[in-house]
Amino acid sequence: MSNIKNIKNIKNMVVLGAQWGDEGKGKIVDFLTDKFDAVVRFQGGHNAGHTLVIGNKTTKLHLIPSGVLHPEIFNIIGNGVVLSPLALVDEIAGLEKEGVDVLSHLRISESCPLILPVHVALDHAREIKRGASKIGTTGRGIGPAYEDKVARRAIRALDLKNPGLFKNKLMELMDYHNFVLKNYFAQPEISVQEQYDAVMKAAEKFKHNLIDTTAFLYDLKAAGKSILFEGAQGALLDIDHGTYPYVTSSNTTAGGVATGSGMGPLNLEYVLAVSKAYTTRVGAGPFPTELFDDLGETIRAKGHEYGTTTGRPRRCGWLDLVALKRSIQLSSISGLVLTKLDVLDGLSTVKLCVGYELDGKIIHTVPADLDQFSQCKPVYETYPGWDKTEGVIALSELNQNALAYIKAIEKHVGVSVDIVSTGQERNQNIVLKEF
């Protein structure tokens, strides 16, 4: 078995989801974190979900980067993240209750656009209005906050340092949003004063942590420190490249690291993409390999496929290599992590989707037109299953059929599988490649 000691040579690494989110990035980031001096979130907001086990207590992180349990690691929320002051303070309080010191090693970009209670109201109002064609958002206000950013009317974290300015901006913003809420969505208006009071109170907790994170990152780089960029959601939920409009509102692919952190792209040395050994999706949108039979239910139960943020059951299906290959192209993926291989233990056969059949033709690309994508029928290769991979940490002990499955994935997507995860525990991994 190789080891990951050479990871010390990598100064900047990106960990991304290669599917529709929930690939198990959290476990991999945990596994890698102590090799780095800083962990950076660069997109999304508290729609992400990452479960941490502290002693025998489970804590769910949504917004704070995953290095938070390590006091010597800086946790940085980059400018590309939409920041809910209320959610942040809740999360800090939850961690502090468990004895975790958060603020001493948390740094937040002063450029983060804020998520305010009105954005949550708008998120809900929009989903209600869409009816049957709703996106299935996490209801956290992510989309409306990004809309305000792009519309150049967002209130940003640095505005929290100036209460008078913040109030004026909030009044102007609410003038617009309350008009929309009341007249377009027929929903109640949201009070300016209540939002002001709640948000200013929350800001007291973290306003001294607001900094120029780009400068901070370059200082770390100059000091020879190593940085891990932690993606949220997955490539197929990318606002530009995902299954639009059933996507999140940020760039979840590697390009988002540079824009969302302020570190230029040539600093990124290794892009590790995380994929489950099968596929899941929460929310609406096409999913060619989705299983509607008992097997889908078995995978859901065995893989605990319920959302960390919303508790929703995840849709489950076979691994889609057409989509995975596209994710690899989108983010210049250096290597893959294959998670939850053990969930497929005990099946007599396993399948890989290697193409789609559309209108009587076989295609190997993901159609941008969702109607077409919805009509795609998976073309499968079938492989013999295996009894048990759960808990295996040595390559020499890995079942040969499971290894053949991994090799087939590598062959089809043209990228190596660097790590295979074989269980929930932090160290239940097989490291196949030294970095």
Which of the residues are catalytic?
22, 50
Whether 382 and 299 have beta carbons less than 8 Å apart is answered as no
**Exposure pattern of 263-275 as b/e (b: 16+ CB <10 Å)?**
beeebbebbbbbb
For 143, other C-beta atoms within 10 Å of its C-beta total 24
Task: Please report how close the Cβ of residue 402 comes to ligand IMP at its closest, in angstroms.
Answer: 26
* 20 or 405: CB nearest ligand IMP: 20
19, 66, 137, 339: residue in contact with ligand IMP (rule CB under 6 A) = 137
Q: Does 143 bind ligand IMP (CB under 6 A)?
A: yes
What are the DSSP calls for 187-255, one per residue? -----HHHHHHHHHHHHHHHGGGEE-HHHHHHHHHHTT--EEEE--S-GGG-TTTSSTTSS-SS--STH
Task: Please report how close the Cβ of residue 281 comes to ligand IMP at its closest, in angstroms.
Answer: 7
135, 220, 319, 406: residue in contact with ligand IMP (rule CB under 6 A) = 135
Helix axes 85-97, 192-206, angle to 10 degrees: 40
Q: Does 213 bind ligand IMP (CB under 6 A)?
A: no
User: What is the identity of the amino acid at 312?
Assistant: R
Whether 35 and 67 have beta carbons less than 8 Å apart is answered as no
Q: Rounded CA gap, 176 and 3, in Å?
A: 56
Task: Please report how close the Cβ of residue 361 comes to ligand IMP at its closest, in angstroms.
Answer: 29
Q: Rg of the Cα trace of the chain?
A: 22
Q: Does 237 bind ligand IMP (CB under 6 A)?
A: yes
User: For ligand IMP, which residue has the nearest CB?
Assistant: 283
- 3-state SS assignment for residue 136: coil
Q: Does 249 bind ligand IMP (CB under 6 A)?
A: yes
Whether 243 and 235 have beta carbons less than 8 Å apart is answered as no
- Residues from 217 through 236 that contact ligand IMP (CB under 6 A): 232-233
Task: Please report how close the Cβ of residue 317 comes to ligand IMP at its closest, in angstroms.
Answer: 15
Residue count, binding to ligand IMP (CB under 6 A): 22
Q: Tokens 């929703």 label which residue?
A: 312
Task: Please report how close the Cβ of residue 193 comes to ligand IMP at its closest, in angstroms.
Answer: 27
Task: Please report how close the Cβ of residue 27 comes to ligand IMP at its closest, in angstroms.
Answer: 14
47, 187, 327, 421: residue in contact with ligand IMP (rule CB under 6 A) = 47
Q: Does 140 bind ligand IMP (CB under 6 A)?
A: yes
Interface mask toward ligand IMP for 327-366; x: CB under 6 A: ----------------------------------------
Element (H, E) at 126: helix 117-130
Q: Does 260 bind ligand IMP (CB under 6 A)?
A: no
Retrieve residue 288's tokens.
């060619």
* 229 or 405: CB nearest ligand IMP: 229
Pairing of strands 74-77, 106-109: parallel
Retrieve residue 219's tokens.
């200082």
Q: Measuring CA to CA, which residue among 17, 64, 5, 6 is closest to residue 40?
A: 64
10, 15, 18, 22: residue in contact with ligand IMP (rule CB under 6 A) = 22
24, 49, 355, 423: residue in contact with ligand IMP (rule CB under 6 A) = 49
Task: Please report how close the Cβ of residue 100 comes to ligand IMP at its closest, in angstroms.
Answer: 22
12, 248, 275, 428: residue in contact with ligand IMP (rule CB under 6 A) = 248
Q: Measuring CA to CA, which residue among 62, 119, 105 is closest to residue 206?
A: 105
Q: What is the contact surface with ligand IMP in residues (CB under 6 A)? A: 20-22, 47-49, 135-138, 140, 142-143, 232-233, 237, 246, 248-249, 282-283, 309
